[in-house]
Amino acid sequence: AYFVLQVIYARRKHKISPPETRGHPEFERIFRAQVNCSEYFPIFISLLWVAGIFFHQGVAAVCGLLYLYTRLKYFQGYAVDAQGRLRPLHVSAWLLWLLLGLAVAGLLAHFLLP
């Protein structure tokens, strides 16, 4: 919701009416950051859910909080400069891979071990 509100604020600030997605470079970066975060959210929430159920709720919760923090830093960095998104992007991708590993380990343990 925070990211969506930032897009609305940027639209008003730079006088860019929906459905337009082009305009001031600051608006384009904020809009792109919000879209990128939205695109990854279903993957994140699915992996978080499976890892929490089949691996460990606490570990999954910590990974989830770290992921959300890195996505916030990604958004903030991208809003200022496109290069500012890179480090948080890499960390958030690493956390998604970690959640995938936890989910797979939990599923394997649940279905293959007696």
Catalytic residue list contains 85? yes
Catalytic residue list contains 12? yes
Q: Is 18 helix (H, G, I), strand (E, B) or coil?
A: coil
Q: How many CB atoms lie within 10 A of CB 49?
A: 14
* Tokens representing residue 26 in the block: 């600051």
Length of the chain: 114
- Among 11, 29, 71, 85, the active-site one is 85
Amino acid identity for residue 19 in this structure: P
CA atoms within 13 A on the CB side of 52: 14
Q: Is 17 helix (H, G, I), strand (E, B) or coil?
A: coil
- Among 11, 12, 32, 87, the active-site one is 12
What values do phi and psi take at 29, rounded to 5?
-65, -45
Active site residues: 12, 85
